[in-house]
Structure formats: structure tokens, C-alpha cells
Amino acid sequence: MRVIAGELKGRQLQAPAWDGLRPTSDKLRETLFNVLAPRIEGARVLDGYAGTGAIGIEALSRGAAHVTFVERDPRAVRLIAENLKRCGVRDRYAIIRAELNDKRTRGSDGAEYDIIVLDPPYGSRELSSALAAAEPLMSNGTLLVVEHAKHDAAPSTSGHLVLVRQIVSGDSALAFYNRVGTP
């Protein structure tokens, strides 16, 4: 795994040394950031189910103002910290060891996110849970992107969330959601 573009381009990221963590492929990450390119500069990003931290590190490399990494597995939290250190990133991020729906994901300053990217374990139940956990973290201007298995259909709506785009790549898909209605 490597950082694809931006100021950290080419930096190698450490992969997990245990089973059960499925890092987003370089190809899918590149596709994601091609779509996010116009929105990433200066954005506040949440990388949920952060795993290796590759999504958030890519966002920082491409000019995000701040990234919050949320991950419950302590091994993955250590891996994220190691990958940030390997890339020489010293600021503009926070790592929170918690479930996505934990109140700490809101951040100490109560700031809302411009972009939320989630990579929950594959499965339709996990996809629905991830959408429900993300909705309270969103304002009407937030873009939510959820990676999922292509055979698990992303719902067209979930609460106040509306599916606005979907991209399929290999066995994976990216579902893009906007929030409509009251914040």
C-alpha cells in the first residue's frame, strides 16, 4: 500500500499483520479520490473504520485541513499511528479509539465534517449500521462515502440520507450519500 498523490505521494504504508482487516485497494482509493478531488482541499474529514489509516492519510496528503480517524481495534489504532509517523505527519489529525457511534467522534470542538468515508466490515447489516451511525455526524453539506461489497445493495435512503451516486470496482462498491431535511 502506498500514498497515491499529493505531498506524501509514494510513501509506503504498513499493512496489517493479522487477519480480519481488509484495507481499501490502491485502485479503489484512487477512484475515490478522483471523485473527491474538488472537495478535499481544506476539508474536515472523518475516516471511520479506519483500519490502516490509508484513506485519511491520502486525504491529508491531498490537502485536507484535518482528519479524524475512528477505529475500535487497538492493533489498528497503533497501525494508524505508525503509518502517520512513517509519512512524517505530525499534526492536523486525531485518532479516536471507539465505535463510530461513540459521542467522542463528534470531536472536542463539536465541529462537523465536510466528508465522511466509512469502510465497515462487508455485509448488509454492517452497511445499514454504518449509515445509521454516520447520520448524526452529518450536516446538510456533508458528503458520506461508504465502501461495501458490490453484492450488498446500498439502500437508496436511510433516515435523512439519500444515495446520490454509486461506483463499482471489482468486488467492491462506493456509495455516496447526502443528507436532506433537518440537520
Residue 148 inside a domain? The answer is yes
Tally of domains within the chain: 1
Is pLDDT of 107 > 70? no
> What gap in Å lies between CA 81 and CA 173, rounded to an integer?
27
Residue 1 inside a domain? The answer is no
CATH at 52: 3.40.50.150
Residue 16 inside a domain? The answer is no
Domain of residue 167, residue span: 26-179
Cell of 166: 454509486
Residue 62 inside a domain? The answer is yes
> Would you say the pTM of this structure is higher than 0.85?
yes
Residue 138 inside a domain? The answer is yes
Residue 3 inside a domain? The answer is no
Q: Look at residue 5 in the predicted model and tell me its pLDDT.
A: 93
Q: How confident is the model at residue 21 (pLDDT cuts 50, 70, 90)?
A: low
Do the strands 115-118 and 44-48 form a parallel or antiparallel pair, or are they unpaired? parallel
Cell of 135: 447520520
Residue 7 inside a domain? The answer is no
Range with the poorest average pLDDT among 3-12, 16-25, 60-69: 16-25
Give mean pLDDT, residues 50-70. Answer: 96
CB atoms within 10 A of CB 178: 16
Q: Look at residue 22 in the predicted model and tell me its pLDDT.
A: 64
Residue 124 inside a domain? The answer is yes
Q: How confident is the model at residue 18 (pLDDT cuts 50, 70, 90)?
A: low
Q: Look at residue 104 in the predicted model and tell me its pLDDT.
A: 72
